[in-house]
Amino acid sequence: MAFEQQKALDDAYIMHTYGRLPVEFVAGSGMTLTDDAGKTYLDFLAGIGVCSLGHAHPAVTRAIASQAEKLTSISNYFYTEHRGEVAALLSKLANNDIEGARALVEALDAGDVARFAAAAAPAPGEQVWKTFFANSGAEANEGSMKLARLYARRQGNGGNTIVCLKGGFHGRTLETIAATMQDWLQESFTPLPGGFVACAPNDIDELTAIFEKYGKEICAFMFEPIQGESGVHPLTEEFARKAEELVHQVGGLTISDEVQAGVFRCGVPFAVQMLGNGGTQLHAVIAENRLIRGVDIKGHLAAVRQKAHINSPVNQLVGHGYLVFSPAVISRKQRLAVRVFAVQPYHFSLPVQLYLHFRVNG
């Protein structure tokens, strides 16, 4: 079908939530895109951070095709292959344990179950992270906010206010728009859910004043290590450490949204690790085992769990774990201090095995 026909159908039947450019792409290979007229382009957008391994990577293509021939998607009520393997790998990455992650990948490559089990077993004192696989970045962010509030109510300070940063972006649901402190994105959808307070990035004085005002009403501090939607605005290590200190003083959590900056894009598994923090990202919620043991989250995460595509065996296979997730990570630190990290699903659609091979082996 010619481009003009495709455009006419798009104009007639598609909601124009994005302003499209007058080009139709029909194929891609690596970083190269080809339009319907055969013209080629270099893709610097990568699907807005989605195609980290480029288009039509042969290993990704083979893995998807292979799994689709076996099993596509089933309910969360059943066990499937690869889900636990991916979660174990994420736990290692959340600890910035590259060698541990490589050991898991090498064991999987060799098909050595005993070796994998030994590599996955936590060492004495190792932080174990549990993962909740969600369907999108917005859902993972909402899952992290729900878990932060639930934790505060069940084990923490009882607060429900989340401090967010001006210029951030956390999703397009009403709840995540409320956490996205940009007037032009919020004004058309008011009234928005409450419980959010805005702070200027890297403004320690304003941040301190907010914590002095709200105190234990605050259950979490939510941020992107590097803001991407409103420009490229990295947080300073000084600001991040101060935020962590303040939120932990009131018994709250930190939530790191790593949709754009995570999965080695900044040279470490998760960008928050450059700021002296631990964390992880995916369409998922990752939480410390001790934290989850004390909170019944089944009913509270039910809404986020519906049709979670990361639970699809297809998404979980690709090279021992197709990371198509948006994570929210929760870690315990000093007494009741906990971190939560949120990220996005399709933004991390890469095979863990290949990614680690590229990262570790060059």
What is the predicted pLDDT for the residue at 344? 34
* Coil vs helix vs strand at 72: coil
What is the predicted pLDDT for the residue at 285? 53
What is the predicted pLDDT for the residue at 361? 31
What is the predicted pLDDT for the residue at 237? 92
DSSP bridge partners of 27: 34
Cα separation, 30 vs 57, whole angstroms: 7
Element (H, E) at 33: strand 32-35
Domain coordinates in residue numbering, the chain: 3-67, 128-312+321-351
Mean pLDDT in consecutive groups of 10 residues from the start of the chain, 362 residues: 93 90 94 95 84 84 85 84 86 89 90 95 89 78 88 86 95 94 92 97 98 96 88 91 93 84 79 64 48 45 30 40 32 30 34 31 31
For the domain bounded by 128-312+321-351, which CATH number is listed?
3.40.640.10
DSSP per position, 138-182: HHHHHHHHHHHHHHHHHTS----EEEEEBT----SSHHHHHHSB-
User: Which backbone phi and psi does 162 adopt, to 5 degrees?
Assistant: -115, 125
Is 169:204 a contact under the CB 8 Å cutoff?
A: no
What is the predicted pLDDT for the residue at 289? 55
CA nearest neighbour of 233 among 186, 289, 184, 165: 165
Cα 207–Cα 211–Cα 215 angle in degrees, nearest 5: 170
Alpha helices in the chain (DSSP H): 3-13, 46-49, 58-68, 83-94, 98-110, 113-120, 137-154, 174-179, 183-186, 204-214, 237-249, 289-293, 302-305, 313-317, 352-361
How much is the pTM? 0.78
Q: Return the CATH fold of 3-67.
A: Aspartate Aminotransferase, domain 1 (3.90.1150)
Cα separation, 194 vs 160, whole angstroms: 10
Strand ranges (DSSP E) for 217-325? 218-223, 226-227, 233-234, 253-257, 283-288, 322-323
Cα separation, 51 vs 307, whole angstroms: 22
CA nearest neighbour of 87 among 359, 354, 333, 325: 325
* 274: DSSP letter: G
What is the predicted pLDDT for the residue at 287? 55
What is the predicted pLDDT for the residue at 222? 93
Cα 286–Cα 291–Cα 297 angle in degrees, nearest 5: 75
What is the predicted pLDDT for the residue at 94? 84
Kindly report the number of other CB atoms within 10 A of residue 177's CB atom: 22
